């Protein structure tokens, strides 16, 4: 009689279910982290844009005041005001315009006579949000 050969079955593979689902979940988590980072950058970008807009408004306001003062050289001293003080009559219209363009703006105007010209320093300060530090813009002009 002939010996009988026993055929062995290959060892059973362990079936792996859910690997594709796990890979998809990891991809979703990585995508979510990327989106959160993008949203954070967008918020910072908006904040920087708002601050630059206030600086531009402050520059325009200071330029307007230098123009006004250049047309009234004889009365330059009447434009002087301390930071946060009530604006004198000569400065009241400009101060109201500036406060409308820059919410919470406080202004300081210093007039310093020199030998051949007068130095004018215009400082405009504002606070973008509660609890934050003041932002400010200082313009120095010389009027002859």
pLDDT digits (tens, 9 = 90+) for 9-47: 666 666 667 788 889 999 999 999 999 999 999 988 988
Tokens representing residue 106 in the block:
């406080």
Tokens representing residue 60 in the block:
């325009």
What pLDDT score was predicted for residue 1?
61
What pLDDT score was predicted for residue 12?
63
* Nearest one of 95, 3, 7, 111 to 58, comparing CA atoms: 95
Separation CA 119–CA 140 (nearest Å): 7
Tens digits of per-residue pLDDT, 89-142? 889 999 999 999 998 889 999 999 998 899 999 999 998 777 778 889 999 999
Q: By three-state DSSP, how is residue 117 classified? A: coil
């Amino acid at each position: 009689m002939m010996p009988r050969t026993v055929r062995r079955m290959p060892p059973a593979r362990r079936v792996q279910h859910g690997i594709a689902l796990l890979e998809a979940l990891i991809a979703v988590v990585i995508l979510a982290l990327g989106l959160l980072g993008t949203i954070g950058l967008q918020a910072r970008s908006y904040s920087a844009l708002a601050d630059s807009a206030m600086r531009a408004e402050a520059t325009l306001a200071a330029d307007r005041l230098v123009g006004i003062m250049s047309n009234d050289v004889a009365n330059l001293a009447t434009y002087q005001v301390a930071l946060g003080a009530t604006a004198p009559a000569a400065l009241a219209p400009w101060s109201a315009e500036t406060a409308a363009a820059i919410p919470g703006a406080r202004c300081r105007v210093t007039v310093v006579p020199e030998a051949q010209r007068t130095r004018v320093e215009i400082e405009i300060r504002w606070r973008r949000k509660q609890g934050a530090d003041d932002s400010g813009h200082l313009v120095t002009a010389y009027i002859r």
